[in-house]
Amino acid sequence: MREAPRKLKMTPQRLAILDYLRDNVKHPSAETIFKAMKDKFPTMSFATVYNTLSTLSKANRLRELTIDPEKKRFDPDLKPHHHLICIRCGKIVDVKVDYGLKLPYAVKKGFEIIGNHIEFYGICDECRSLGK
Amino acid sequence: MREAPRKLKMTPQRLAILDYLRDNVKHPSAETIFKAMKDKFPTMSFATVYNTLSTLSKANRLRELTIDPEKKRFDPDLKPHHHLICIRCGKIVDVKVDYGLKLPYAVKKGFEIIGNHIEFYGICDECRSLGK
DNA sequence: TTCTTTAATAATAACAATTCTAAATTAGGA
DNA sequence: TCCTAATTTAGAATTGTTATTATTAAAGAA
């Protein structure tokens, strides 16, 4: 209803970002993506990365995660799933379980429910062994 | 393990913020809290609000929510619960249901799990009637 | 292939949320 | 009451993100 996912103009920059994201399970931030692009596209600007990510998100080609308090993370996996995040280092792991969550009527009344996302939080191996 | 919740020095500013937060179910942002303080404490600085919120959070007197992509939200309710957020206006509603979520061993292996939080998202009454 | 149009890029400025710094003040214990 | 470490304040600094604008280039038309 908001906007029809019109066909995207395919530029080398977009292809590179799409390619970088394909099968990427690291949930990178915009900065991580920007740095990864630096090799092949030394001239690519930060604005392009943000523009592209925003465009791809609106076109439903990726999902923005609000799980990291510091910054947005980007996930190319469109199948509904959840995440486990290390509160120390920010590492994010996929949780591909369908919990079939239902909201009590009293809560959802008035709302048009669109989806849900579970954030599990914990401390990963490395962070524990590296002493905190 | 991180830090013992040592006793807090009680200042008028902290008491005011604690008082404002008590039984507050609006999940206010730092700015909202700052504005609310302006009446009684015209001299209170933004830094104090942030300092106080950070201190209270570390002392387990409130919880920081990472549910709003724009900014942090603060919740004085320490009992584990979840949230439903309107993706249009940012309104947040409590979801006090215990879903008893379990992680498959393959996922949680290596992690020390601390907790979880479910974010339901949707569009609220007002936002729908106000045409999107 | 070349032209045309419209959208995307790059560079930079602008912003918003948050954190940091340093000096002045104050709560709470001795 | 005095002392000291912690807190407040004001403002500067940082970080992540968005906006602006001139330039460039993709994709369809001719």
User: A22-80, pLDDT tens digit by residue?
Assistant: 999 999 999 999 999 998 899 999 999 999 999 999 999 999 999 999 999 999 999 99
pLDDT value of position A6: 56
pLDDT at B20 over 70: yes
* Mean pLDDT of the B15-25 span: 96
Strand D within 7 A of A70 CB: yes
Which nucleotide is closest to A13, CA to C1'?
C9
| Separation between Cα atoms, residue B10 and residue B6, nearest integer Å | 12
DSSP-H helix ranges across B43-124: 46-58, 105-108
CB contact under 8 A, A118 and B111: no
CB contact under 8 A, A118 and B118: yes
Which nucleotide is closest to A7, CA to C1'?
D27
- Which residue in the block uniquely carries the two structure tokens 């009637």? B129
Residue A2 binned pLDDT confidence (cut-offs 50, 70, 90) = very low
Domains, in order of start, for chain B: 12-75 (1.10.10.10), 82-130 (3.30.1490.190)
pTM of this prediction? 0.90
| Separation between Cα atoms, residue B34 and residue B41, nearest integer Å | 9
Round to a whole number and report the distance in Å from the CA of A117 to the C1' of D7: 39
| Separation between Cα atoms, residue A101 and residue B75, nearest integer Å | 23
* Mean pLDDT of the B75-87 span: 95
Share of chain B above pLDDT 70, in %: 94
Strand C within 7 A of B66 CB: no
Best mutation target, B1, B58, B66, to test chain A (most A CBs within 10 A): B66
Structure tokens at A59: 């076109």
DSSP letter string, A74-130: EE---S--EEEEETTT--EEEE---------HHHHTT-EEEEEEEEEEEE-HHHHHT
* Mean pLDDT of the B54-81 span: 95
* Mean pLDDT of the B68-83 span: 96
* Mean pLDDT of the A78-104 span: 94
